[in-house]
Structure 1
């Protein structure tokens, strides 16, 4: 008679044999189905999308089902689930083979079978989503049951989180890493600061943010101090899924009742930890500020590190990762191209490598992608790549760099109201590489193209959003600001060359004739498009037309019909430059921007063509001489604003009083860095429509004419950094509509007009750096009852204190005296020398 132990052993052996057979059957049927789907996809495009879904489902199921079958072999578990899956897969294999043999003309039958394939995919997905998690829960239960006694609760909690810890560990570094040692030290220092609880690591896509946080997560100092949780986020993050990973909610615990429930459970888990916690949220996308705030708990020794392509203004602690420097970029490229280990069959010369590395702009992803694409290639492949780039072909224009293009383009996935940001970003490609772009220029463009709002408030807001997305770098030159739109006359943006190429690439997606913006970059006479030299008239539908020419440009303009162009940007480097003849056809033109990027000033010709532009509203000229425009002003009845930057003062010699009739709607004039301007042109004092006059950094200006009193509509007068200006004329007190007076850094002004109190609508005075203004202010300043803000330095603030006290005590009025911070920087020198 057999003992119970013998019977049990035989039963277990029988189960093991049965389960082994079951596992073999599963593996056989799974392979047959997988091969059938793959074979049909390769041979026919019929039902391709449905079969791809089926194949994807099987790819997901394979590792988990194999684990389940292996477990069934080892333990006495029910065979029902595995048998059910085997039957479904056998049925699926027969259907796939049968449906693939249907002739193309059996439309109705094909539709019927397609519906069955969709249902089959749903059945398999259901097994994947419901039954496999149930099996996994049984495994977790078995593990928990092995822990005996209520005294082992901590062990139970530890085992419950095993899966979470495994899924939230910091991934190991797989790639060659160079140039991140210094950023790692800086990031650690900033993260470990006591006052920092949430730190955002930000940079454009492809700069190595994830690589840097992986290095941080494997750093001995950080691992020794923190328990680290690493969670990849996404464009469409799911709060419950993220917390599910952190808490291992695939066990027997009930599902979260709400987001708040998930957050509460996460906080409870964090409170139980005995070690400081570092939560790394990788790849957080714009618009996720509210998500990040849910992970912020007032707990000691708890920090959050976020990687994102965007800056989140709501969180003040930010570390910006910069592209690699030239030396590190060269090392990374050489490694990726196999130039260091000798795996490349061709070793290019140093100059060729430098050109290619420069084209990658220090972006690690670009260096890796381009390097790998050339690794092992013959000399001709290297020569072709350099030749294409030299001829103006972008690094993003080849299929080889599709991975890089997709990565960068993902930052431009704007929807709804944010689509305007994508449009503004593409406009930035209108300017030459390695040059600063004045903010005032962008305001002129965008105020007419997108947001016709006073002072360009929306344009500035869009620029800040683009800056937060790391698509440009906004450089502010001064800090003593008060009014939106008034501070940007010296501010500028810089755009990385690779991001500029991205902007131009986006512009070229449309057919030539249908592009909203047409950007033409001609270096010398070698990159001229074919249609440029054709005799026939080339129609274009672009709203924005940008043409950049080099030093050797022959000044032979193309024959185009640009009747829809609203913004024209002309960039050149020659000593003499004539406006293009096609200007007379641009009757819808609103904004004209002409910039000389050459070393010497240039004289602008064909100025008479401006008379053909009835809708022109804004003109901006840089480093050009156009005396004829003021001597014989063309009739520009709709001209509202003219800006002259680094233009000679000779432009105003023999200035005609007729300008008041020709430009009868002119409301704003800006003259900046006009080195030989001695006096404000008297002829402009008769343009009574002027509301804003800005003369800044004109160091030889010594006087304003008495006739300035005729500008009765003037609201803003800026005379910033006119260091030789010794006084303001008494006639300025006739400007009854003046709201803002700015004499900052006018070093020679020793007093204010005696009757300045007659400026009854004066709201702001800026006078930082007026070093000679030391005597008490005129008594009439007590009549400035609408004065609300004075921005000055500490010395000048003492002069205003009695006035403020008088306003408060006698008139019950509030006047703010704001001390401007010392702003010593050389940002304003960029690209001016």
Structure 2
């Protein structure tokens, strides 16, 4: 081990990943009256449900969060406040699974069926008994009536539901309407967002007034526009006023809010084109789902040569500063010097995602292609160019697992990043993947409640430039039956995957499948008991990260053979009690993170000595 070897201890900590309240903005204005009215209605005896309704970007989620953090509400419901985002495609299994995770912790199995999920929900509410419970269902879309009805049917005494939505759901009773900010409050929010103080005296006073009037009282627009104008010269303000005053949005929805958001996004063109590209890439992920920062790190490293992970995180922080995204850290520990970002996620308002997708469609070079279709239909941009190469660098497909048979005839050889999103139990990599000779990054995410069985993994053999793979909620038993040999692969990340069966199968050789692997990340894979023995033959491996794999009981005895290993991260692997003696042979190891376990600590101390 190197002389400057660093050891870092971490306790397990409590994640805020499930049913956690969103963080409130640092500056809030204009919600006191709305909060009082909301409390008066929902806390009233005999009222069990209420819809908080307003247009997008008006502050519904912020008001619901403020309601949950109100002292009177917290005193009443105590620890029984659950906050769940629903979005466009409601899934009862996933909603109940989030409740289960929040109430029981991270080591819980997934539901095998919706019937079992409902049964657990019934038992959970019965156990709650006389204790008041508040359930917030945020960002609920039309078509979710059956989901709302299911929760309403199971209501118990002291059980209340708050729904936030752009829609009023008449069958759910009289809604509570949130109005846009009045002029005084809107101006106060804009002054804070744009940091207007003594140093901004150069800005003519009529410009903030004109901009605030164009924002129509929408907090999201006011904040985004204000942040984009902070410390800008007067000429920049004049240009923005001119853009906002045109009075007609080019967006399909033709709303005043989207005019404001679009003007702020266009400002990025003049300041940082890569930052704008990063924002547009966020549209590749489904609405209402948290985006793993680690997935974005992989994408941006290959598309924009952001080869250090912190550069991508810096871009996310800049987007967050401009209120274009929310950057969430689910386990807030002191910053690790080895750059661990698996607990970092990005959340984005659906209107901002809509803007990213629209701007993507306007790109004449078609650098991104986002297919958000379910079924066997293809967008016209593909069918029209079936016999011509598609110049797209990033292709994102959200589907139900059914791919059009004609898609295999389309030339996709220029694609460098492929993002696949789905919610099915069984999923096969589409056949057209085999023709993506320039593919560098593959992101496969299952948004269902159970790990999906992934097949056709052998298609990756034909990809000479594939460098990074990230799988989430995936099971890959087929990889043992049909071995792959991806010599170009440098990094693989497995998040909440079912890998124990494959890793313990003697017919699977990771050193043959990925002989030049440099980084292996395994997070929340609960069935992992042991690592492949031949993992120690990965001579190029520099980073090995295993976190929250509670059943991992031992490391390979010959781990000392990993002569190039620099970072070994072992967090919350509670059954891991000892290190192999050969760990002292890791001459290049400079950083080790491990869970505080007395036996493990004493073992390591002895080995280091």
Q: TM-score, normalised by structure 2?
A: 0.60
**Equivalent position SS for 2:603:** coil
Give how far 1:744 is off: 2.4
1:408 aligns with 2:378: no
Deviations 1:745-773 (A, max 9, x none): 5587362335432xxxxxxxxxxxxxxxx
| Structure 2 residue aligned with 1:435 | 289
From 230, 236, 246, give the equivalent of 1:288.
230
Match of 1:676 among 513, 527, 551: 527
1:426 matched to 2:277? The reply is: no
Partner SS, residue 520 of structure 2: strand
Which one of the candidate residues 638, 651, 663 is aligned to 2:502? 651
Between the aligned partners of 2:378 and 2:426, the Cα distance in structure 1 is: 20
Provide the residue aligned with 2:548 in structure 1: 697
| Of 414-423 and 655-664, the range deviating more from structure 2 | 655-664
Alignment check: 8 A CA contact 1:697 1:722 kept: yes
Q: Which residue of 2 aligns with 1:263?
A: none
Q: What is aligned with 1:586?
A: 436
Deviation of 1:714 after TM superposition, in Å, equals: 0.6
Describe the superposition over 1:266-315 as per-residue Cα deviations: whole angstroms up to 9, x where unpaired.
xxxxxxxxxxxxxx9996443634989xxxxxxxxxxxxxxxx9xxxxxx
1:499 corresponds to 2:359: no
CA distance in 2, matches of 1:291, 1:417: 13
Shift of 1:506: 0.7
Do 1:587 and 1:612's aligned partners in 2 also have CA atoms closer than 8 Å? Answer: yes
Q: Partners of 1:282 and 1:435 in 2: how far apart?
A: 21
Matched with 2:466 is 616
Contact 2:225 2:264 (C-alpha < 8 Å) held by counterparts: no
The answer to whether the 8 Å contact 1:596/1:623 transfers is yes
| Aligned-partner SS, 1:421 | helix
Relative distance call for 1:244 and 1:406 in structure 2 (3 A) is closer
2:424–2:452 contact (8 Å) kept in structure 1: yes
Aligned residues: CA RMSD: 4.3
Q: Give the number of aligned pairs.
A: 418
Shift of 1:535: 11
Cα distance, 1:410 vs. partner?
1.3
Deviation at 1:477, TM superposition (A): 2.0
1:682: how far off? 1.1
| Alignment correspondent of 1:211 | 181
C-alpha contact 1:522 1:547 (8 A) present in aligned 2: yes
Deviation at 1:711, TM superposition (A): 0.8
- CA distance in 2 between counterparts of 1:672 and 1:281 reads 35
User: Which residue in the other structure is 1:605 paired with?
Assistant: 455
CA contact (8 A) 2:489 2:516 kept: yes
Q: Which one has a larger percent helix, Structure 1 or Structure 2?
A: 1
Cα gap change, 1:282 to 1:756, in 2 (>3 Å): closer
Cα–Cα, structure 1 residues 211 and 618, in superposed 2: closer, same or farther, change >3 Å? same
Query: In the TM superposition, what are the counterparts of 1:181-200 in structure 2 within 5 Å?
Result: none
**Is 1:447 aligned with 2:417?**
no
Distance 1:489 1:234, change over 3 A: closer
> In the aligned structure 1, how far is the partner of 2:35 from the partner of 2:473?
39
Matched, 1:490 2:340: no
TM-score of the pair, normalised by structure 1 = 0.45
Greater share of residues in strand: 2
Any conservation in 2 of the 1:622–1:644 contact (CA below 8 Å)?
yes
Q: Which residue of structure 2 aligns with residue 258 of structure 1? A: none
The answer to whether the 8 Å contact 1:545/1:565 transfers is yes
Say whether the 8 Å CA contact 1:675–1:700 is kept in structure 2: yes
Pick closer, same or farther for the CA change 1:434–1:231 going to 2, 3 Å.
closer
Structure 2 vs 1, CA of residues 524 and 179 (structure 1 numbering), >3 Å: closer, same or farther? farther
Out of 310, 316, 321, the residue aligned to residue 463 of structure 1 is: 316
- Is the 1:578–1:606 contact (alpha carbons within 8 Å) kept by the matching residues of 2? yes
Distance in structure 2 (CA, Å) of the matches to 1:534 and 1:591: 26
Question: What is the CA-CA distance between 1:626 and the residue it aligns to?
Answer: 1.7
> Structure 1 residue 442: deviation in Å?
0.5
Residue 749 (1) aligns with residue 600 (2)? yes
Partner residue in 1 for 2:411: 561
Matches within 5 A, 1:27-38: none
Instruction: Please report how far the alpha carbon of residue 557 of structure 1 lies from its aligned counterpart in structure 2 after TM superposition.
Output: 6.1
CA distance in 2 between partners of 1:635 and 1:668 (Å): 16
Confirm or deny: 8 A CA contact 1:659 1:684 kept in the other structure: yes
Answer yes or no: is the 8 Å Cα contact 1:692–1:716 preserved in 2. yes
2:594 maps to 1:740: no
Q: CA–CA distance in 1 between the matches of 2:338 and 2:591?
A: 13
1:504 CA drift (Å): 0.5
Q: What displacement does 1:580 show?
A: 1.3
Q: Does 1:728 align with 2:579?
A: yes
In structure 1, the partner of 2:160 is none
The answer (yes or no) to whether the contact 1:230–1:282 under 8 Å persists in 2 is no
Seen in structure 2, the aligned counterparts of structure 1 residues 233 and 599 have a Cα distance that, compared at 3 Å, is closer
Instruction: Give deviations 1:766-818, integer Å, cap 9, x for gaps.
Output: xxxxxxxxxxxxxx2xxxxxxxxxxxxxxxxxxxxxxxxxxxxxxxxxxxxxx
- Does residue 328 of structure 2 align to residue 475 of structure 1? yes
CA distance in 2, matches of 1:601, 1:396: 41
Query: Which residue is 2:361 aligned to?
Result: 508
Give distance in 2, aligned partners of 1:281 and 1:517.
28
Between the aligned partners of 1:493 and 1:726, the Cα distance in structure 2 is 34
Greater radius of gyration (CA): 1
Quote the Cα distance in structure 2 between the aligned partners of 1:282 and 1:569: 28
Flag the 1:627–1:211 CA change in 2: closer, same or farther, 3 A: same
Q: 1: distance between equivalents of 2:191 and 2:508?
A: 70
Cα deviation, residue 469, structure 1? 1.1
**Post-superposition CA distance 1:559-580 (Å, at most 9, x none):** 3211111100011112221111
Residues 83-98 of structure 1 aligned to structure 2 (within 5 Å): none
Contact 1:721 1:746 in 2 (8 A): no
Is 2:446 the partner of 1:596? Answer: yes
Contact 2:224 2:264 in 1 (8 A): no
8 Å CA contact retained: 1:627, 1:652: no
In structure 1, runs of 5+ residues without a counterpart are: 1-172, 187-207, 219-228, 247-279, 293-308, 310-364, 374-394, 758-779, 781-833
Report the alpha carbon displacement of residue 433 of structure 1 after superposing the two structures with TM. 1.0
